[in-house]
Amino acid sequence: MTDSLDYAATVLRRCDELAAFSEDEGRLTRRFASPALRAAGEAVREWMEAAGMTVRRDAIGNLIGRSGDANRRTLLIGSHLDTVRDAGRFDGALGVLIGIACAELLRDLPYAIEVVAFADEEGARYGTSYLGSRAFVGCFDEEWLERRDADGVAMRTALGRFGGSPDAIAGCRRDPADLMGYYEVHIEQGPTLESQDVALGVVTAIAGQTRATITFSGVAGHAGTVAMSLRRDALTAAAEWIIATETLARETDGLVATVGQLTLDPGVGNVIPGRATLTLDLRHAEDPVRIRAGEELRRCAEAIAASRELAVEWRSHATPAVGLSPKLTEQLAEAVAATGQPVVRLPSGAGHDAAIVSTIAPAAMLFVRCAGGVSHNPAESVTVQDVAAAIDATTRFLELAA
Ligand code: GLV
Ligand code: MN
Ligand code: MN
């Protein structure tokens, strides 16, 4: 445990150091393909090299450190380096840094370890989640390269400036032939572990999610001269739909729906909004419930648009719910028990790269308690003791996996 505590202190210090790589002054924002993400990646590369790893960056910007090169079997350990806007410092980074710490601690495993720092999990810049892991498993949709961020920068352009290769994304696909599995440590981002007074949780499943971008298009006009009965106001249509969305989620057990972004055009105080573009994040542990809700919300948007004589456009993509590998999850539970910690199993409402990588390799995940269950918020926090417990459980898991 002394070793784990030392390594945990290093991991937390590195989380602090990474938090300084931000697009925004005074708060942590590190979105896909930003200079801040590039700089964070360079720091992580140095730590990987210091841990004895050979490091490469793929075409989408995932950073991959490998140790134990002579071995033919490989275990992936990963998480992401991008963040939401005004983020906490542990979401994603903790898993990458624990992976590096454990690879350094266990240099003579009979298999290779590849620590993967994914370039985009959050989707904060382009509204497309998991760009990094999707490229890694070979299911990246090349049409996304033409998407634009809020400043009008196309993903293709941003990726080129970042040092990536938009035309070579197919080459990011990791051949699964030698893969034993994928393992991810992540903060829980919810209150279950804290409420049960335990440091660690073994994840059983990851909820599915639908992400949609919805645009209501009406007619911009003069705020002082267009009578209320003649208006085709895109924002009031969006507002009606947002309330309908909240109502459906409140009335459907286990369904959560969030509109996290709303952009108005022209966005001027004395102009009736001509266009309102908003995002929907819709999640449920059971795919049929989420899919039905998504269809209902789409019909609802169309009905609202028709009744107000507007047009509506709906673009969405989905990630199905994922059950984690029973075999690896049992080994992880055994590893947690061997550290003297109680074994608590729980599903994840948050999305994780494990959901995507599980399509090419069996996956397991360990949660670390975070204070108050707070996440996607600068108040995110973990203790050095809990991180040491996670390192302890992870090293035992890696030994068991042999
Ligand atoms: C990732 O943080 C997610 O949106 O679940
Ligand atoms: Mn997150
Ligand atoms: Mn995350």
* CB atoms inside a 10 Å sphere around CB 230: 10
Share of the chain above pLDDT 90, in %: 97
Residues of the domain holding 313: 208-319
Asked if residue 105 and residue 14 are part of one domain, the reply reads: yes
**3-state DSSP call for residue 259?**
coil
Q: How far is the CA of 223 from the centre of ligand 2 (A)?
A: 39
Atom 1 of ligand 1 has which residue's CA nearest to it? 351
Contact 112, 66 (CB under 8 A): yes
CATH number reported for the structural domain that contains residue 305 in this entry: 3.30.70.360
Determine the average pLDDT of the residues in 343-351.
Answer: 97
Q: How far is the CA of 114 from the centre of ligand 1 (A)?
A: 23
Q: Which of 28, 80, 122 to mutate to test the pocket of ligand 1 (most atoms within 8 A of CB)?
A: 122
Among 142, 136, 83, 104, smallest CA distance to 11 is for 104
Which ligand has the nearest atom to the CA of 368?
A: 3
Q: Which of 32, 184, 189 to mutate to test the pocket of ligand 1 (most atoms within 8 A of CB)?
A: 189
Q: How far is the CA of 36 from the centre of ligand 2 (A)?
A: 17
User: How confident is residue 173, by pLDDT bands cut at 50, 70 and 90?
Assistant: very high
Q: How far is the CA of 83 from the centre of ligand 2 (A)?
A: 6
Asked if residue 330 and residue 313 are part of one domain, the reply reads: no
Structural domain total, the chain? 2
How high does pLDDT run on average in the chain? 97
Asked if residue 73 and residue 95 are part of one domain, the reply reads: yes
Q: How far is the CA of 184 from the centre of ligand 3 (A)?
A: 10
Residue 186, both tokens: 């992540």
- Single residue among 319, 342, 376 that ends a domain in this structure: 319
Determine the average pLDDT of the residues in 57-70.
Answer: 95
Least confident of 8-12, 66-70, 135-139: 66-70
Residue 62, both tokens: 């995932």
H-run or E-run covering 118: strand 112-118
Q: Please write the tens of the pLDDT for every residue from 83-95.
A: 999 999 999 999 9
Share of the chain above pLDDT 70, in %: 100
Among 141, 204, 171, smallest CA distance to 62 is for 171
Residue 150, both tokens: 């809020």
CATH number reported for the structural domain that contains residue 40 in this entry: 3.40.630.10
For residues 15 and 91, what is the distance between their CA atoms, to the nearest angstrom? 10
**Would the CB of 122 count as within 6 Å of ligand 1?**
yes
Which ligand has the nearest atom to the CA of 349?
A: 1
Asked if residue 216 and residue 202 are part of one domain, the reply reads: no
- Single residue among 319, 343, 366 that ends a domain in this structure: 319
Give strand ranges (E) for 273-388. Answer: 275-284, 311-319, 322-323, 345-348, 363-368
Asked if residue 261 and residue 161 are part of one domain, the reply reads: no
- At 400, give phi and psi (nearest 5°): -65, -35
**Would the CB of 350 count as within 6 Å of ligand 1?**
yes
Of ligand 1's listed atoms, the one at least distance from the Cα of 122 is 1
Q: How far is the CA of 153 from the centre of ligand 2 (A)?
A: 23
**Would the CB of 392 count as within 6 Å of ligand 1?**
no
Q: What pLDDT is attached to residue 128? A: 87
Please state the separation of Cα 79 from the chain's center in Å.
8
Asked if residue 67 and residue 12 are part of one domain, the reply reads: yes
- Distance, first Cα to last Cα, the chain: 21
> The pTM is what?
0.94
Q: 84-106: string of b/e by CB count within 10 Å (b at 16+)?
A: bbebbbbbbbbbbbbbbbbbbbb
Which ligand has the nearest atom to the CA of 92?
A: 3
Determine the average pLDDT of the residues in 53-67.
Answer: 98
Determine the average pLDDT of the residues in 347-352.
Answer: 97
**Would the CB of 351 count as within 6 Å of ligand 1?**
yes
Q: Which of 256, 352, 380 to mutate to test the pocket of ligand 1 (most atoms within 8 A of CB)?
A: 352
- At 211, give phi and psi (nearest 5°): -115, 130
Q: 150-187: string of b/e by CB count within 10 Å (b at 16+)?
A: eeeebbbebbeebebbbeebeebebeeeebbbbbbbbb
User: How confident is residue 243, by pLDDT bands cut at 50, 70 and 90?
Assistant: very high
For residues 166 and 185, what is the distance between their CA atoms, to the nearest angstrom? 29
Asked if residue 191 and residue 67 are part of one domain, the reply reads: yes
Asked if residue 281 and residue 326 are part of one domain, the reply reads: no
Atom 3 of ligand 1 has which residue's CA nearest to it? 351
Asked if residue 212 and residue 115 are part of one domain, the reply reads: no
Of ligand 1's listed atoms, the one at least distance from the Cα of 283 is 5
